[in-house]
Amino acid sequence: MAEQLEPGNFIVRDLSLDDATGSEAHFVRSPERHAAALQEFFDRTGSDYARFNYLGEWHSHPNFDVNPSPVDIVSMNDLVTGERDIQFAALLIVRLRYLLWLELTASAFVRGRPAVVAHVQ
């Protein structure tokens, strides 16, 4: 969850963690848990959706490649094509390699456009 400082410039203000679903090898998004965190965030920020809003999701792939999986892609596309009027979402996948090297992808999902994935090593 983030605050938009200016068009295209955001700062993360809060996040939710889900330690109850999924496993080390399989991420399961729990909409109910995250909906509660979002509601609390919106209550705290006065429901000023133009300034404070949902920015995206992240999870790690500690034992796998950092490219979005087919499940990741479907989940994110469902967010931007669903009825909640989410225009775009970002997905960050990280992995720590050899205790010193951070590998990650940042993916942008925009309604009506193909996903864009940026790799950083």
The pLDDT value given to residue 22:
63
Residue with more model confidence, 99 or 68: 68
Q: In the predicted model, what is the mean pLDDT of the chain? A: 83
Domain ranges across the chain: 1-54, 56-121
**Token output for 110:** 């925009």
Pairing type for strands 56-60 and 88-97 reads parallel
Its pTM stands at 0.64
Residue 121's pLDDT band (boundaries 50, 70, 90)?
low
Residue 118 has pLDDT above 90, yes or no: no
Q: In this structure, which amino acid lies at residue 71?
A: V
Average pLDDT (63-73) is 84
